[in-house]
Amino acid sequence: MRSADDVLLLIDLQYDFMPGGALAVAHGDEVVPVANRLAQAFSHVVLTQDWHPAQHVSFAASHAGRQPFETIALPYGEQVLWPTHCVQGTAGADLHRDLHVPHARAIIRKGHHADVDSYSAFLEADRATPTGLSGYLRETGANGGAHGGVKRVYCCGLATDYCVAWSALDARAAGFEAVLIEDASRAIDLNGSLAAAWEQLRAAGVKRAQSAEVLRGAA
Ligand SMILES: [Zn+2]
């Protein structure tokens, strides 16, 4: 079992990101059994769930004449327009039924503000609004609170180059060690986004690991 200084963050393992879903990530379902194995090794697991209102700003359908995968300029910066996905309360927003993590302690729902997207589990896309995850992690862990809480955040899920990468980068920015578990994640890879994400991750000091290394305590 991993130290209580460590948390496993399982990102957006929801039907709309699985093959056949509204915003399918190729082979996304393959990470579910890997996530289950990893979760067995962590006493502290947190899930995220993309969770949008029906007219969310990240949906192409919310912008007249726009198509999915185009980009637009929003007040907080460039935004990729996505197919409508993970609408609150819909079957597409449900976590995959084969995900078996009964001991998960928290579910962070993100993207719930209609006019701001949130790839990251820590900060919304305006780069200013916290989700509360950083504070939660500081108040939990081996000692919690004044003693520092969680030290290391292991990130995996969907998609490597968006929500997983942004979460790992923001974990680093918030002062945690961060590890991205590559084979427990799958990418969208839109216009070179996967290579760009790995370069940003490397530069930020996010470790790149495989699930076998994490399971044997080598990463
Ligand atoms: Zn979304």
Task: Give the DSSP H/E element, type plus range, for residue 181.
Answer: strand 177-186
CA of 11 relative to ligand 1 center, distance in Å: 12
CA of 19 relative to ligand 1 center, distance in Å: 16
Active site residue 156: no
Q: Is 194 helix (H, G, I), strand (E, B) or coil?
A: helix
Q: Which pLDDT belongs to residue 192?
A: 95
CB hemisphere CA count around 86 (13 angstroms)? 28
Q: Which pLDDT belongs to residue 60?
A: 98
CA of 15 relative to ligand 1 center, distance in Å: 12
- Burial class, 18, CB count within 10 angstroms (exposed 0-12 / middle 13-18 / buried 19+): buried
Sign of CA dihedral 87, 132, 162, 76: positive
Active site residue 110: yes
Active-site residue, selected from the candidate residues 110, 117, 155, 161? 110
Q: Is 4 helix (H, G, I), strand (E, B) or coil?
A: coil
Active-site residue, selected from the candidate residues 16, 163, 170, 207? 163
Domains, the chain, ordered by start: 6-52+86-149+159-186 (3.40.50.850)
Q: Determine the number of helices (DSSP H) and then strands (DSSP E) in the chain.
A: 5, 8
CA of 151 relative to ligand 1 center, distance in Å: 27
CA of 84 relative to ligand 1 center, distance in Å: 8
Say how far apart CA 94 and CA 90 lie, in whole Å: 7
CA of 3 relative to ligand 1 center, distance in Å: 31
Say how far apart CA 135 and CA 110 lie, in whole Å: 15
Q: Which pLDDT belongs to residue 54?
A: 97
CA of 216 relative to ligand 1 center, distance in Å: 33
Active-site residue, selected from the candidate residues 12, 29, 50, 161? 12
Q: Which two tokens stand for residue 217?
A: 């305590």
Angle, CA of 99, 196 and 48, to the nearest 5°: 25
Q: What is the pLDDT along the chain (219 residues), one digit of tens a residue?
A: 888 899 999 999 999 999 999 999 999 999 999 999 999 999 999 999 999 999 999 999 999 999 999 999 999 999 999 999 999 999 999 999 999 999 999 999 999 999 999 999 999 999 999 999 999 999 986 655 555 689 999 999 999 999 999 999 999 999 999 999 999 999 999 999 999 999 999 999 999 999 999 999 999
- Burial class, 136, CB count within 10 angstroms (exposed 0-12 / middle 13-18 / buried 19+): middle
Q: 12 Cβ partners below 8 Å, 6+ apart?
A: 48, 49, 50, 86, 157, 158, 159, 163
Q: 30 Cβ partners below 8 Å, 6+ apart?
A: 186
DSSP 24: P
Active site residue 163: yes
